[in-house]
Structure formats: C-alpha cells, structure tokens
Structure 1
C-alpha cells in the first residue's frame, strides 16, 4: 500500500472536524447524508473516557453506538469554539454543548461543575480523520457527585 499525502490547510482540517461535530448533532449523519464513519480513515483511532481506545472503523462504530445509545440529542455551540492549529496534521477544538442523556439533560455551565465542556484533539490527513481523542466528563446528567467531597449536596445547585 502506498502512503498518500495530500496537502491540507488548517481551514480544510477545521472543516473536516466541523463536519464530524455537526454529524453528531445530526444523529450520526454528515451534511451530504453519509454516515459519520465515512469521515474516518480505515485504521483511525478514537479514544473516549470510560470507554477506551477504538481502533479502526468497526470498533469506532461500536464506540459511537455505545455512547450514542445513551444520548437522545446533542448540540454543539459552534460560535464559541476555540481552535488550536499545530501547523501539521493535528488540530484541537475546545467548546461547549448541551443535550439530553438517558439520565437527564445537560448544558455547559449549568451547574458550572457539570458536563458540557469538552476538548477534542484531531489528527486529520488526506481529508480523513486519522485520530480523535475526546476529553470530557461522560457523566452527562451530573449524577456522580457522591464520590467527590466538594460536590456533596451540590446536585441541586452550584
């Protein structure tokens, strides 16, 4: 197999990352109607907290089905994203979201300590996601407060 290296600009990488995030908001479908997995290289990797590392499209599909099966809806707040460009294949997106999880609703900042803030580190090459590591609190409904002394009694307010 030959290694292809199509040159990409930071804006092109950003457009792939945005298409990925918007695909989640659209129930796993990209803007042209393709499955979200079509944005990934065959041997891509995705890491999600409390799930682990998914290698290749088949495992990534399983990760997305497992996590997505717990989420009724999600909306990313695109206007407030922070983007960091490495000058290479890696870009970072930091942002907020809100939505509905099977355990309850979430919105970034409500309360301030709860879910909704996230950071994704992408490696995008040849117009495909090669790697994305997702950093967020997977306790979307904010129910896991008992193990954290500073959150004891905080579930009803911030």
Structure 2
C-alpha cells in the first residue's frame, strides 16, 4: 500500500512533469481551491485548472526535497517553495518580493485525494504593483 505522503509527493512530481496521469490520484468528485480560481469540484474542473495554470506558468518546478510535511490520519499538509518561468518568459521567484512559498492541504478517501486547497500568492511576477506599493511603503 502506498502511503498518503508518497501520493502527495507523486502529485507534485506529476504536476512538474505536466503529466496528465495526475488526475488518477484524485476522486471523481474532488474539491479544490486555488486563489483567483476559487473553489471547484470534479476532475473536469481540476483538468481545466491545470490547463489555465500551464497557460500562465509553462515551466513549474517544486522543490520537493525541501518540503515540510505534516501527516495526520487522512490529511497531509505541505509547506514548500516553487518556481519556474511565466508565459512572458520571466523567471520567478525573484527572491526579493516573490519567494515562491506555498502551503497545500490534502485530504484523502482511502488512497485518493478528495480535497486539495492550495494557499499561495498567484502574483508570481509581481504584476500587482498597486498592492506591492501599499504593502511595502
């Protein structure tokens, strides 16, 4: 039997590889959340979410070896960093404002992910200058 932690690690490896088999790790009625995308449910919505992410972030890499994990019964929480290249060719994070930090919370039904909430600032390229100026003033 594969551990839930191994399943979460497989999720990140498949996302980084843009591997469509990532959906096999989820229940049919998976619920998920991502800022600016909002809450959604079902594998079709998950596929659409992935398509939109790849449109904006064609190169995505998670630093899986340096993740911090909390595993508790049917939940796995991941705190980590990610980076890549945006559609406009810009690399991120910039290491100054953009740090590439995120936290994801996974819930399981048996060996499948039934819930995934991703907490991240999706302004990877620091395009939201109005809020940057307000917070950094």
Q: TM over 0.5, yes or no? A: yes
Aligned length: 135
Q: Residue 136 in 1 paired to residue 123 in 2?
A: no
Residue 85 of structure 1 corresponds to which residue in structure 2?
71
2: CA distance, partners of 1:56 / 1:125: 14
Report what 1:13 is aligned to: 4
Equivalent in the alignment of 2:104: 120
Quick check: which has more Rg, 1 or 2?
Answer: 1
Q: 1:99 aligns with which of 79, 84, 90?
A: 84
**Unaligned residue ranges in structure 2 (runs of 5+):** none
Encode CA deviations 1:88-129: one digit per residue, 9 max, x unaligned: 21110000011011142212x711x31410000000232111
Runs of 5+ consecutive residues of structure 1 not aligned to the other structure: 1-7, 153-158
Partner of 2:22: 36
Shift of the 58–45 alpha-carbon distance from structure 1 to 2, 3 Å rule, reads: same
Cα distance in structure 2, aligned partners of 1:52 and 1:83: 24
Distance 1:65 1:115, change over 3 A: farther
Q: CA deviation at 1:146?
A: 1.8
Q: Please, what is the CA RMSD of the aligned residues? A: 1.8
Q: Given the two structures, how large is their TM-score scaled by the length of structure 2?
A: 0.89
With structure 1 as the length reference, what TM-score do the two structures score? 0.78
Deviant stretches of 4+, over 4 Å: none
Q: SS of the residue aligned with 2:9?
A: helix
**By percentage of residues, which structure has more helix?**
2
* Alignment partner of 1:48 is 2:34: yes
